[in-house]
Structure 1
Amino acid sequence: MEFLYCTGCRVGEVHRLDIEDINWESYSAIVHGKGSKQREVYFTTECKVWLKRYLDHREDSCKALFVTESLPVRRMAIPTIRYAVKKLAARGEVTVNVYPHRFRHTYACHLLDNGAPLDFIQGMLGHEKASVKNLFF
């Protein structure tokens, strides 16, 4: 959930991430978005710690960044990511409806609240055209 929150990625972009897409030195990842477009997203030190811890505990050779817990280990499917987010939110006793796109929306709102210009937010979210509807819904 930390990766979704601090990058603003779409669930499909998270699904397609491979370990080799991560640049640990620059705290960034290359995500493969809509229409085969790529962009660089950035994550926090806290996210890096969680990702490293997660990868250190994995005992598989799957190239995907996020994988299933059950055997055979494989890339986590989009519905599985959605289910995992709901399950983690329930475990944390979160009372609002939590789903992957809510993290993207929150990411955009936090950028706006902190004074980021709309064109910057648009770029960080991977939108071609600036539109309030596209940025926040």
Structure 2
Amino acid sequence: MKPFLVRLDAYLTQLTQQGKSPHTLDAYRRDLIELANMLPENQQPTRNDVVRVLKQLSQRGQHPRSLARKLTSWRQYAEYLVHLGELSSNPIAHIKAPKPPERLPKAIDREQINQMIDQDIPQSDDVLAIRDHAMIELFYGSGLRLAELHALNVDDVLLDAGWVMVSGKGKRQRQVPLTRPSIAAIDAYLSTRYAVDGELALFTSRHGTRLCTRQIAKRLEIWSQNNQANQHISPHMLRHSYASHLLQASRDVRAVQELLGHQNLSTTQIYAKLDFDHLAQVYDDTHPRAKRKK
């Protein structure tokens, strides 16, 4: 038996006594045997050995989440061997799991989202619907994060200039252009906005206080249900759709990076595969809602 597996049965017995399920025990056994079979003959693993095995498994196409699970199994067993004196130290203790690719929501079809917004222009006496319409236009029209929209104050919106001042991650400030539909929707909302004395928030509840992020997300969920959306629509999905549609049209990743408030260019590039041979003016000529008339 390979030196690394000498205590395997005793280890699995201990896990059984701890109440681990048979499925979990089978997974631990498979992961540990797999590692042992890829180690040099008759040797306990070194850190370099484990790193090499991880690379080999990654090259065979194993998903980062699977590799992270295996690494956890190996680390815990190695710690058990250290406790028994079989290993002087845990060679796996400080090895970081491979980072899984960021999962992004699927972008909403451009025609679908435009049709939903256009068909949902509220009546003048529906105050909450007017507010929600302005929020949705701003989410999709300017690609704001949920926390950014929540933090907006009335003075941050410059309708005449066509800009909104946004405080992003790390309190970094940026100017983001407003589309004509966003300007019209916010203007209509401001004439109905109710706020208690001293409340600076742009978007307020029926009680006149700043809407919290949970309320904003809930109102978007209700809006998507009322418009019979065929998928769950979240604030991040609208932001992702904004980024994807704008990148597909403009192909100017650096300009879109600034609009989104991304510190690193690589964060913006994950939204779309770009053809860098073609660059275009980004906003007025390409935004999917910029050319729509008021």
Maintained 8 Å contact 2:205/2:211: yes
Q: CA deviation at 1:104?
A: 0.7
Q: 1:65–1:122: structure 2 CA closer, same or farther, 3 Å change rule? A: same
Partner of residue 161, structure 2:
26
Aligned partners of 2:154 and 2:160: how far apart in 1?
14
The SS at the match of 1:54 is helix
Partner of residue 49, structure 1:
184
The SS at the match of 2:166 is strand
Q: 1:48–1:31: structure 2 CA closer, same or farther, 3 Å change rule? A: same
Partner of residue 64, structure 1:
201
Q: CA deviation at 1:35?
A: 0.6
Maintained 8 Å contact 1:67/1:76: yes
Please say if 1:83 is aligned against 2:218: yes
Q: CA deviation at 1:134?
A: 6.8
Aligned partners of 1:128 and 1:75: how far apart in 2?
28
Stretches of structure 2 lacking an aligned partner (at least 5 in a row): 1-135, 273-294
**1:55-83 residue CA offsets vs partner (Å, 9 max, x unmatched):** 101233531111112x2x21110111110
Q: Paired residues, what number?
A: 135
Partner of residue 124, structure 1:
259
Aligned partners of 1:96 and 1:66: how far apart in 2?
25
Q: CA deviation at 1:36?
A: 0.9
One-letter amino acid matched to 2:226: R
Partner of residue 233, structure 2:
98
Aligned partners of 2:176 and 2:189: how far apart in 1?
19
**1:79-98 residue CA offsets vs partner (Å, 9 max, x unmatched):** 11110100111111111110
Aligned partners of 2:190 and 2:267: how far apart in 1?
36
Maintained 8 Å contact 1:122/1:135: no
Q: 1:19–1:133: structure 2 CA closer, same or farther, 3 Å change rule? A: closer
Maintained 8 Å contact 2:195/2:209: no
Looking at secondary structure, tell me which structure has more strand per residue. Answer: 1
Partner of residue 249, structure 2:
114
After TM superposition, the score normalised by the length of structure 1 is 0.91
| Root-mean-square deviation over aligned CA pairs | 1.7
Q: CA deviation at 1:111?
A: 1.1
One-letter amino acid matched to 1:130: L
Aligned partners of 2:252 and 2:203: how far apart in 1?
32
Q: 1:88–1:119: structure 2 CA closer, same or farther, 3 Å change rule? A: same
Q: CA deviation at 1:116?
A: 3.1
Maintained 8 Å contact 1:8/1:108: yes
Maintained 8 Å contact 2:194/2:204: no
One-letter amino acid matched to 1:49: A
Q: 1:67–1:125: structure 2 CA closer, same or farther, 3 Å change rule? A: same
Q: 1:14–1:79: structure 2 CA closer, same or farther, 3 Å change rule? A: same
Bigger Rg, structure 1 or 2? 2
Partner of residue 76, structure 2:
none
Stretches of structure 1 lacking an aligned partner (at least 5 in a row): none
